[in-house]
């Protein structure tokens, strides 16, 4: 069976939980052929992989969301007209009504249409004007029109993609990845599996609410765009997976039929994290705190640094290791470096990308201060190494720390997001209580070994993949 793994903004270009999961999945099924269909910002990332691709990855296709034709001129530009059926399909899409997506799939695969033809043509203008009159008459029309063009430009680029043929499309999100999967199912009759780590629509909503580049009602217009794309993906998918039950409930609320969803927890290679090297004699007087993360805004590293600065005033032998890449958001990383200097706090080390096996055994506990997560692999890795965790109450962190289907006990301390006092106090509490650290670390280890091993995850997906393969054989 040939599986096309469809990813947006992650593997194989950046490290992180989703990227690690994709890499692990492909390596777990060496008998299947995988091709990658990746969605990235622009051509500057072309071929710049930070992972060595497994041998069973045979092809890589890249789609660039900023790779547009804006401004190109030629004969007949902006004069081509779409059919009545195509016009109605596009209008219902913009109006967020019941849409015949198959008509749009066919429309955008026509070579004669460029994106300029459509976005700058009279048909899209009339659709925008109709939508404006019905739904947004109190804002400037010119601003609304250009907002619509900017919203639909990346979607139309996706719709123009010639999707490679495969037996199964495994999309690691809804959104644009889900659109590609839906198109592939329509054109090739392939299976469609969607696995969400974070709930795509909610993540985009959180980003847009905080965004400074879009204001007022335009935030809602962007948010609604991602909601409609996710609804289509949910409706057309054969199977949808989520990492934990609350995520499943969110998917149902966003339009996914409940009978399609299967809960599939993450799994890690626990053997890889056994027998780690501990502290040297010189290091035993220190309390090491580990943060395995990408230095980006969503991980809220600034709050982590500030909380550590407060905690270190109470516990002088604290040392913080921030272990992860600093090049994904260089401006934010520089702000974090500057914050350490401004606060005058010592014993904060940015290691960059490292093999966590060289560090995790030395840590007394780990910490995660994210403002958004799914089911963090870094927490499971800490558990596998018998380390307790401080984490913000996002995603499945509560379930991992307190347990959902076991009585192993509490495996760390949960805090509210961006709460300096709570996070600092949690760091102090674990730093001064070795017995609590050990008890929590053992609870986490038992929880991880009971449910979150890579063997467990592989078994579930093996069953899912086998189901698709049997359907292919029947056809």
For tokens 């201060």, the residue is 369
The CATH code of the domain that includes 216 is: 3.40.50.2000
Residue 342 located in a structural domain? yes
Crossing angle of helices 17-28 and 377-384, rounded to 10°: 70
- Residue 370: enclosing H or E segment and its boundaries? none
Would you write out the chain's pLDDT as a tens digit for each of its 475 residues?
Answer: 999 999 999 999 988 889 999 999 999 999 999 999 999 988 888 888 999 999 999 999 999 998 765 445 444 444 567 899 999 999 999 999 999 999 999 999 987 778 888 899 999 999 999 999 999 999 999 999 999 999 999 999 999 999 999 999 999 999 999 999 999 999 999 999 999 998 999 999 988 988 888 989 999 999 999 999 999 999 999 999 999 999 999 999 999 999 999 999 999 999 999 999 999 999 999 999 999 999 999 999 999 999 999 999 999 999 999 999 999 899 999 999 999 999 999 999 999 999 999 999 999 999 999 998 999 999 999 999 999 999 999 999 999 999 998 999 999 999 999 999 999 999 999 999 999 999 999 999 999 999 999 999 999 999 999 999 888 766 5
CA angle 401, 404, 405 (to 5 degrees): 130
Q: Is residue 316 part of a domain?
A: yes
Q: Which helix (H) or strand (E) holds 431?
A: helix 420-431
| Whether residue 55 is found in the same domain as residue 202 | yes
Query: What stretches of 361-431 adopt beta strand conformation (E)?
Result: 365-368, 389-392, 412-415
pTM value is 0.90
Q: Name the maximum alpha-carbon separation found in the chain.
A: 78
User: Do residues 328 and 417 share a domain?
Assistant: yes
- Confidence (pLDDT) at 78: 47
Strands (E), 102-232: 168-171, 191-195
Query: Angle at CA 149, nearest 5°, toward 165 and 193?
Result: 30
Q: What is the rounded distance in angstroms from the CA atom of residue 405 to the CA atom of residue 414?
A: 18
CA–CA gap between residue 164 and residue 187 (Å, rounded): 10
Helix (H, G, I), strand (E, B) or coil at 3: strand
Q: Are 305 and 338 in contact (CB under 8 A)?
A: no
Look at residue 460 and tell me if it is in a domain: no
Q: Which domain holds residue 89?
A: 84-152
The answer to whether residues 110 and 227 belong to one domain is: no
The answer to whether residues 290 and 404 belong to one domain is yes
* pLDDT given for residue 71 in this prediction: 45
Task: Dig out the tokens for 92 from the structure.
Answer: 């219902």
Is residue 42 in some structural domain? yes
Strands in 41-165 per DSSP E: 57-64
Tokens coding 423: 């996070």
352 phi and psi, to 5 degrees?
Answer: 75, -170
What is the dihedral sign for C-alpha 324, 304, 200, 32?
positive
Is residue 396 in a domain?
yes
Chain position carrying tokens 């990658």: 36
**Alpha-carbon gap, residue 319 to 286, rounded angstroms:** 7
Query: 165 and 298 share a domain?
Result: no
User: Residue 47: left (phi > 0), alpha (psi -120 to 50), or beta?
Assistant: left
Give yes or no for a contact between 279 and 468, defined as CB atoms under 8 angstroms apart. no
- Distant-in-sequence, close-in-space partners of 322: CB < 8 Å, separation ≥ 6: 291, 293, 295, 301, 304, 348, 349, 350, 351
User: Sheet containing 365-368: which strands, arranged edge to edge?
Assistant: 348-352, 318-323, 287-292, 365-368, 389-392, 412-415
Q: Are residues 327 and 405 in the same domain?
A: yes
Query: Which residue bears the tokens 């994709």?
Result: 22
DSSP string, 249-261: HHHHHTT--GGGE
* Terminal alpha carbon distance of the chain: 13
Q: Select from 416, 420, 378 the least CA-distant residue to 400.
A: 378
Q: How is residue 323 annotated by DSSP?
A: E
What's the structural domain count of the chain? 3
Q: Same domain, yes or no, for 432 and 337? A: yes
**331 and 233 in a common domain:** no
DSSP designation for 30: T
Same structural domain, 251 and 390: no
In a domain? residue 392: yes
Co-location of 383 and 288 in the same domain: yes
Q: Would 79 be classed as within a structural domain?
A: no
Domain's final residue, options 127, 152, 177: 152
């Amino acid at each position: 069976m040939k599986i096309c793994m469809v990813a947006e903004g992650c593997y194989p270009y950046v490290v992180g939980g989703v990227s690690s999961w994709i890499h692990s999945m492909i390596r777990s099924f060496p008998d299947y052929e995988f091709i990658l269909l990746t969605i990235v910002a622009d051509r500057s990332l072309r071929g710049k992989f930070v992972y060595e691709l497994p041998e069973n990855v045979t092809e890589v296709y890249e789609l660039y969301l900023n790779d547009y034709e804006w401004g190109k001129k030629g004969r007949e530009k902006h004069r081509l007209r779409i059919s009545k059926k195509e016009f109605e399909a596009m209008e219902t899409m913009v109006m967020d009504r019941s849409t015949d997506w198959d008509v749009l799939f066919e429309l955008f695969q026509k070579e004669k249409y460029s994106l300029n033809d459509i976005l700058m043509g009279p048909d899209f203008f009339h659709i925008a004007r109709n939508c404006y009159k019905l739904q947004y008459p109190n804002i400037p029309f010119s601003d609304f029109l250009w907002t619509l063009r900017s919203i639909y430009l990346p979607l139309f680029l996706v719709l123009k993609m010639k999707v490679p043929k495969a037996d199964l499309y495994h999309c690691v999100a809804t959104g644009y990845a889900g659109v590609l999967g839906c198109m592939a199912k329509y054109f090739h009759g392939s299976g469609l599996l969607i696995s969400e780590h974070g709930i795509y629509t909610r993540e985009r909503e959180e980003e847009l609410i905080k965004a400074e580049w879009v204001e007022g009602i335009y935030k809602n217009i962007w948010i609604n765009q991602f909601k409609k794309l996710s609804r289509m993906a949910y409706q057309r998918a054969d199977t949808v997976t989520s990492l934990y039950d609350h995520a499943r409930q969110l998917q149902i609320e966003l339009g996914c039929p409940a009978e399609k969803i299967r809960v599939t927890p993450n799994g890690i290679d626990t053997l890889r994290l056994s027998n780690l090297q501990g502290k040297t004699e010189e290091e035993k007087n220190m309390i090491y705190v580990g943060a395995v993360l990408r230095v980006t805004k969503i991980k809220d590293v600034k709050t982590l640094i500030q909380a550590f600065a407060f905690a270190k005033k109470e516990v002088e032998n604290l040392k913080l290791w921030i272990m992860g890449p600093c090049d994904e958001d260089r401006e934010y990383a520089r702000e974090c470096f500057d914050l350490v200097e401004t606060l005058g706090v010592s014993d904060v080390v940015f290691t960059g990308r490292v093999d966590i096996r060289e560090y995790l055994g030395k840590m007394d506990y780990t910490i995660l201060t994210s403002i958004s997560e799914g089911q963090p692999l870094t927490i499971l890795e800490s558990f596998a190494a018998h380390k307790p965790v401080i984490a913000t109450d996002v995603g499945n962190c509560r379930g991992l720390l307190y347990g959902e289907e076991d009585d192993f006990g509490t495996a760390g301390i949960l805090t509210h997001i961006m709460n300096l006092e709570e996070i600092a106090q949690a760091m102090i509490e674990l730093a001064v209580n070795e017995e609590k650290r050990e008890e929590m670390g053992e609870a986490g280890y038992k929880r991880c070994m009971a449910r979150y091993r890579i063997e467990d995850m592989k078994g579930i997906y093996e069953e899912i993949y086998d189901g698709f393969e049997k359907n292919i054989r029947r056809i």
